[in-house]
Amino acid sequence: MGLALRLFSSRSIENSPVIQTPFVEETTDVDDEKPVPDQNVDFRKITPPKGKCDLFTGDWIPNPSGPIYTNESCHVVEPHQNCMKNGRPDSGYLYWRWKPRECEIPRFDAKKFLELMRNKQWAFIGDSIQRNNVQSLLCILSKVEEGVMVYHDEKYSSKRWLFPSYNFTLAVIWSPFLVEAATFEDINGVSTADIQLHLDKLDHTWVDQYQSIDYMIFSGGKWFFKTAIYYENDKVVGCHYCPGQNLTELGFVYAYRKALELVYNYIVTSNHKGVIFFRMLTPDHFENGEWFSGGTCTQTVPYKDGESKLNDIDVVLRDIELEEFKKAEALASKNKVNLKLFDTTYLSLLRPDGHPGPYRHFHPFAKDKNAKVQNDCLHWCLPGPIDSWSDLLMEMVVNG
């Protein structure tokens, strides 16, 4: 399986060689060399109002009770994230919980959540990490009631589930660019043409449903590393990594900022009466290489504060996200649109132990203990660290 993802060498962020990834709908920021960590990343550029707890600054602490669900009790865990079934030998990564330093947050209460969401609709809009998050939430809610799939698109990229007893709908809407995009890749990630990206047109996949959804979580980012031709006013204005095509190299920074500006302008002027979250980027944890050069993630315990830093490309993406959110936040408040930042970057950075690694494959070392297999150091095992994101979401919904 695979999608064509083309990324940079560390020589240049905006104009550089590219490579392809084999993961279906699963992207990572891959360089010929590991980016030099930024030693001065400030994870608190946006601070909570005085008297409010900063939910996103904290530590992972031992949790002897373990996860709410298991890989056997939940039926929506996809094979490549079912780490225990795939033979992962250790289980310590299951016994941690996120603890903000300034407050306690309760564990996710599935029954309370479903009661609060009676007759409501939720949607996670973005890429495969959003899908990962939705599956986690479905597993947690299944302890009270299992969602019934009531819709899927042709490729099963966008899906919707109904919880009949509560008339609650939960959806994942596949929109990795958030703006209109034409892609030309088959199921194996073989591309016959470059992506055509319209930076001045929103993706109708989510726009058409926008006003009917009570709670939304947007995210974006790493898909913009792909080779793409950029359009504005239906005319080609440039590209990202398109050698030999006589086009202006604008780069992913230009495109991502333009896309976020468009998305936020739509949101803050929409008169939407629900709650809208923007989730910050999720870092990967490839070590000793990348996916294409034998990169692995073999850690079995969380990092402590200060033990890991974002790489330079993630810093660039995060800065764009923060800058555009700050601008949108002021307008949203003025227009009485409820826009919130869901900043999972730091707590995710501290969990190198929570990825499938080689166990995205079924028993990868059963026949050969020295087998060379591709590692997934971006997505999360289920159960796993991503389950804690629901604790934070519920706290933000219940207590603002």
In the chain, the domains with their CATH numbers are: 63-399 (3.40.50.1110)
Of these residues, 29, 31, 80, 128, which one is catalytic?
128
- Give the pLDDT confidence score for residue 362 in this predicted structure: 96
For residue 93, which of 357, 361, 391 has the smallest C-alpha distance?
357
- Give the pLDDT confidence score for residue 47 in this predicted structure: 52
Identify the band that residue 307 occupies on the pLDDT scale cut at 50, 70 and 90.
very high
- Give the pLDDT confidence score for residue 184 in this predicted structure: 84
**Rounded mean pLDDT, 228-251:** 94
Please tell me the distance from the alpha carbon of residue 308 to that of residue 295, in angstroms, as a whole number: 17
Asked if 241 contacts 227 with a C-beta cutoff of 8 angstroms, the reply is yes
Q: Burial code of 71-98, b = ≥16 C-beta within 10 A, e = fewer?
A: beebebbeebbbbbebebeeeebbebbb
Of these residues, 80, 355, 361, 379, which one is catalytic?
379
Most confident of 3-12, 15-24, 115-124, 365-374: 115-124
For residue 283, which of 240, 226, 338, 345 has the smallest C-alpha distance?
345
Predicted confidence (pLDDT) at residue 290 exceeds the cutoff of 90 = no
- Give the pLDDT confidence score for residue 191 in this predicted structure: 73
376 is catalytic: yes
Identify the band that residue 399 occupies on the pLDDT scale cut at 50, 70 and 90.
confident
Mean pLDDT check: name the lowest of 35-44, 116-125, 129-138, 166-175: 35-44
Of these residues, 29, 343, 376, 391, which one is catalytic?
376
Predicted confidence (pLDDT) at residue 86 exceeds the cutoff of 90 = yes
Please tell me the distance from the alpha carbon of residue 196 to that of residue 240, in angstroms, as a whole number: 11
Mean pLDDT check: name the lowest of 44-58, 65-79, 120-134, 372-386: 44-58
- Give the pLDDT confidence score for residue 17 in this predicted structure: 36
- Give the pLDDT confidence score for residue 185 in this predicted structure: 73
Predicted confidence (pLDDT) at residue 115 exceeds the cutoff of 90 = yes
Query: How many of the other CB atoms lie within 10 Å of CB of 352?
Result: 25
**Rounded mean pLDDT, 23-30:** 37
- Give the pLDDT confidence score for residue 23 in this predicted structure: 44
Please tell me the distance from the alpha carbon of residue 169 to that of residue 158, in angstroms, as a whole number: 13
Identify the band that residue 103 occupies on the pLDDT scale cut at 50, 70 and 90.
very high
Q: Quote the pTM value.
A: 0.87
